[in-house]
Structure 1
Amino acid sequence: MTDHPKPIAIYVDADACPVKPEIYRVAERHRLKVFVVANSFMAVPREPWIERVIVSDGFDAADNWIAERVSRGSIVVTSDIPLADRCIKAGADVIGSTGKPFTEASIGMALATRDMMEDLRAMGAASGGPKPFSPKDRSAFLQALDLAIQRLKRAGFG
């Protein structure tokens, strides 16, 4: 009897994700399942390894769907820091769309910074959002995704 490695799956918090085409290309190359999770219809390529998941428009419905299903061997792509925290606690690898990995070591500071910026915005002391997405961000994302996949394959995931 042979043990088949647990397959690697990629979960995409899709509503504001600028790197979906890159995810599809990398997943196809590695033959990985991709779950594209959003609370409204979103066009995705018609491929058997890509699954579109439309959740209710309830608060955090997409986040909850993802967080309830991930475990070690899952890769989550999100810029949502609270979702990243939940997924890290479940054992998943988490990557922001700019290629920044969220880890157990970095998530606490990311949460604190997010909360501080929310407070500053509420007081009117800070405005604007994240800087525009750049080609450098896209390249960093591709590198981080490939590293996460290679690390999981070395750890015995398929």
Structure 2
Amino acid sequence: MHIWVDADACPAVIKDILYRAAERTKIQLTLVANQSLRVPASPYIRSLRVEQGFDVADNEIVRRVAPGDLVITGDIPLAAEVLAKQGQALNPRGELYRQDTIAQKLTMRDFMDTMRSSGIHTGGPASLSQSDRKAFAAELDTILNRYQRSKPAL
């Protein structure tokens, strides 16, 4: 398993949780962004800078993701592409995207985009709460523990 992070919009507190998890589990973590990122010095953590542009980071993640990898993103179209490649996608609020609900989420996202483009103010998402952080950490631990148990013993 490799953990990929759509890092341009990922909150710092979520990155900190991911850094600790990568160190604890010795799982590779790559933050993909269109700007330079500072990451802790670690053999398990790195950043990958991509060119500026619409969906460049998302496209790079999709190109590199392998079945079983985990992608951290709040971007629903990216999550759908990850699921299509048999990866896992987790948003910063702790929601694991699922194959059986991703089409519905894409439809709702498109509907909200249409409303906003017609001038209706829909507001943005609420700021990340302490309970969101806890939910993210708990779901991440569940995924990583399941992965650790499934690895063959050396």
TM range, smaller chain: over 0.9
CA offsets per residue over residues 62-117 of structure 1, 9 Å max, x none? 00110011122211000011100000111111100000111101211110110011
- Which of the pair has the greater relative contact order for Cα pairs under 8 Å at 6+ separation? 1
Local SS of the residue matching 1:53: strand
2:126 partner letter: K
Q: 1:127 aligns with which of 122, 134, 149?
A: 122
Local SS of the residue matching 1:129: coil
Contact 2:2 2:69 in 1 (8 A): yes
Q: 1:11 aligns with which of 4, 11, 19?
A: 4
CA offsets per residue over residues 100-152 of structure 1, 9 Å max, x none? 11110121111011001101111122332111110100000001111111223
Local SS of the residue matching 1:104: coil
Counterpart CA distance in 2 for 1:157 and 1:82 is: 33
Local SS of the residue matching 1:103: coil
Counterpart CA distance in 2 for 1:126 and 1:148 is: 36
Give yes or no for the alignment of 1:42 onto 2:37: yes
Contact 1:78 1:95 in 2 (8 A): yes
Comparing 117-126 with 28-37, greater Cα deviation is found at 117-126
With structure 2 as the length reference, what TM-score do the two structures score? 0.92
1:148 partner letter: I
Contact 1:55 1:61 in 2 (8 A): yes
Give yes or no for the alignment of 1:106 onto 2:101: yes
Contact 1:98 1:141 in 2 (8 A): yes
Match in the other structure for 1:4: none
Counterpart CA distance in 2 for 1:49 and 1:67 is: 20
Q: 2:92 aligns with which of 76, 97, 107?
A: 97
Counterpart CA distance in 2 for 1:156 and 1:115 is: 38
1:28 is displaced (CA, Å) by 0.9
1:157 is displaced (CA, Å) by 7.0
Local SS of the residue matching 2:82: helix
Change (3 A) 1:157 1:138: farther
2:72 partner letter: V
Counterpart CA distance in 1 for 2:86 and 2:145 is: 16
**Structure 2: tracts of 5 or more residues without a match:** none
Counterpart CA distance in 1 for 2:117 and 2:152 is: 44
CA RMSD in angstroms comes to: 1.4
**Structure 1: tracts of 5 or more residues without a match:** 1-7
